[in-house]
Amino acid sequence: MHDEVVDRSSSITFGPQHPVFPEPIQFKLKVVDERVVGATPVLGYVHRGIEKAFELNDYKVNPALSAKICGICSSPHTTAYCRGVEAVLGIDIPPRAKYLRLILNELNRLHSHVLWFGLLGDAVGFESYFMQTWNYREKIMDMLERMSGHRVYYAFNAVGGVRRDLSPALAKEVEGLMGKLEEDFSSIEDVVKDYSVKKRTQKVGVLTTKEAKVTGAVGPTLRASDVAADLRMTGYDAYADVKFSPITATSCDTYGRAVVRWKELSQSIDLIRQALSKLPAGEISVKVPPVVKPGECVSRVEAPRGELFYYVKGNGTKNLERCKVRTPTFANVWPAVAMLSKGCEIADVAVIVLSIDPCISCTER
């Protein structure tokens, strides 16, 4: 007699509420004992109708709406929206406004990456480290508030430029903050090199270079798989005037994603310093017409999590006919997590998902 094949696998629900997950995300895990052999993401926990709301508002007030798509990446969202509309309108913003957008976007990247490192510490059991990194983040958010007037949803970018200028005194404060952050971030390096962190992250959630390209990964998730892709290299806004290169890692695992973000902290500090040293004088905005002429445009920027994609279409009125958004999490989580989770232990799933830095509210909207 042939031995009967017995399916020893079982299914468990992981999420949407979990101590490590910052937002509602659920996976149906197929497991054998403690080993994951399959993972299926479950969608639909967050929907706010934001894309429809884009069509109902005067296009000039939509930057405030785009900022609310994501509280962590609100500056790149407003940048992408404004750049798309400006392209349809056929206008070019002043050079000073381009530099100010760069400075705010890189401050936004700093606070996003530091937030992520705090969550990583929480996931691997370093509670004190979680509080320490978020203390660093508070300094960055205080500066974002000084520059924009808001701590979370920065009403800084506007169609045609920016709403606020940077005074010489405040520019010196930003420069001083960069020096303080360099000292603070040395503790992040210590944790990245910690034995316990390496044991929880090295060779966990491996996404090879080929798999990263096939699944369409973006941002640090893609660069940690040794692909030097960074939309800032296209030179939008003032990125054409500063010197930098995409940061990559060759390990292709969860640890590599931590290394990329850690090195990007220093890179963002350097970009802000370059922008401050080259900040041109002049106006910070130009006048825009009351309606958006017929036309369409795709706008792409590099958010902290990766490529942020906006499609805008005007129809000759003050309202947009269509505004479509694709966030980095859509590209990273849905195709990649099912692949990443296969073969890992159940305890590693939360760390793997966190390594991609998912934002479900901005993905589903």
Torsion of CA 139, 69, 131, 121, to 10 degrees: -130
Q: Residue 2 falls within a domain, yes or no?
A: no
In this predicted structure, what is the pLDDT of residue 341?
A: 66
Of 326, 328, 310, 324, residue with least CA distance to 87: 310
Domain of 103, CATH number, reads 1.10.645.10
Predicted pLDDT of residue 224: 95
Query: Residue 118: inside a domain, yes or no?
Result: yes
Q: Is residue 1 part of a domain?
A: no
Kindly report the backbone phi and psi dihedral angles of residue 214, in degrees, each rounded to the nearest multiple of 5, phi listed first: -65, -40
Is the residue at 93 inside a domain?
yes
Instruction: Give the separation between CA 248 and CA 260, rounded to whole angstroms.
Output: 6
Q: Which H or E run contains 298?
A: strand 295-303
Q: Count of domains in the chain? A: 1
What proportions of the chain, in percent to the nearest 5, are helix, strand and coil? 50, 15, 35
| Domain assignment of residue 196, given as a range | 10-364
| Position 277 in a domain | yes
pLDDT the model gives residue 298: 96
Q: What is the mean pLDDT of each run of 10 residues along the chain (365 residues)?
A: 61 81 82 83 82 94 92 92 97 97 96 92 83 92 93 90 96 96 86 85 90 91 95 95 96 93 96 97 96 95 95 96 92 71 79 85 80
Q: Classify 288 as helix, strand or coil.
A: coil
Q: Of 93, 86, 53, nearest to 293 (Cα)?
A: 86
* Residue 30 included in any domain: yes
Residue 157 is predicted with a pLDDT of: 95
C-alpha–C-alpha distance, residues 276 and 174, integer Å: 9
**What pLDDT does 336 receive?**
65
- Residue 263 in any domain: the answer is yes
| Residue 239 within a domain | yes
* Residue 6 confidence (pLDDT): 53
